[in-house]
Amino acid sequence: MDAVNSAMAGFFDLLWAPFSALPEWVGLLVLGALFGVLALLAMKWTTNAKRVAVFKDRCMGNIIAILLFRDSLAVVFSSLGKTLGWLCGYVGEQFKPMFLMLIPFVLLFAQMQMRLGIRPLDVGAVVEVRAELDVAKADGADVAVELPPGLELRSRIVHQPARGHVAFNVAAKEPGLHVVKFTSGGETVTKSVHVGPADGTPMVAPVRSNDFFDQLLYPGEDSFGGASRFERIAVSSYPVRPLPCFGFDLSFGSEAGLILVFVLLTIAAAFGLKGVFGVTL
């Protein structure tokens, strides 16, 4: 997964380069439109336009029958059952391009989320850092933590050997990219902490992990490797990055805001360009 994330990071850097000097919403708009075009091409290559048209026509025909013969329970229930059946066929036909686009969408959006969805910590912010170890290899009781000058310890370091957890709070004292070191049984690993204003769209990494889904969703740092005692290190409470656009914040103050806007842009582009590509939705 590390190799895939590294390749995607390089690809996204090239993709984002033309928009690096522009407001972030411009790049988001263009990428949403491009992904909409890719979705249309996937539909064109994987769906049967005639079958889609038949499913839509049969659904509409049965809906009309329900409206016209609503006084007849037999017709209503029969037409309703047929409508659901044709609708399932329509959804099944559309599922093929959705499945095809799912992997590139997740990979692309993970890169986008690390750059546009969250931003570095504010100077003065206090956050929790939590390390999780493989209890079959180590219990975490001997983990030593070394903080860089830009971070200040604000709590005692709590060890939970039964769970393999180590947790503590730090205050962000200086802007910059800070590296926290963790040592256990002769093994030393690091975790980055981004603080303060940053030029452009740096890759902020809330999580470093060996878990596949963590690596998929948080591609900012490499995994620890299968032989490592460490499984996951996370920094809590990275703030949402605002996406100003004509007085509105497209992030809506939530990490989910970015994905919502991107999906809506993709859908709008797909519907707007379906005639150009000869695709039946």
pLDDT in tens, 179-213: 999 998 888 999 999 998 866 677 888 999 999 98
Round the average pLDDT of the chain to a whole number and report it.
83
Q: Domain spans of the chain? A: 2-118+249-277, 126-235
CA–CA distance, 270 with 259 (Å, rounded to integer): 16
CATH architecture of the domain formed by 126-235: Sandwich (2.60)
With contact defined as beta carbons under 8 Å apart, do 114 and 218 qualify? yes
Phi, psi angles (nearest 5°) of residue 89: -65, -40
Q: With 70 as the cut, is the pLDDT of residue 93 above it?
A: no
Percent of the chain with pLDDT over 70: 92
CA–CA distance, 169 with 193 (Å, rounded to integer): 13
With contact defined as beta carbons under 8 Å apart, do 120 and 204 qualify? yes
**pTM (2 decimals)?**
0.77
Q: With 70 as the cut, is the pLDDT of residue 280 above it?
A: no
Percent of the chain with pLDDT over 90: 20
Q: Distances from the Cα of 168 to the Cαs of 4, 129, 171, 223, in angstroms? A: 32, 6, 10, 21
CA proximity to 143, closest of 130, 127, 125 = 130
pLDDT in tens, 94-133: 677 777 778 888 888 888 888 888 889 999 999 999 999 8
CA–CA distance, 98 with 91 (Å, rounded to integer): 10
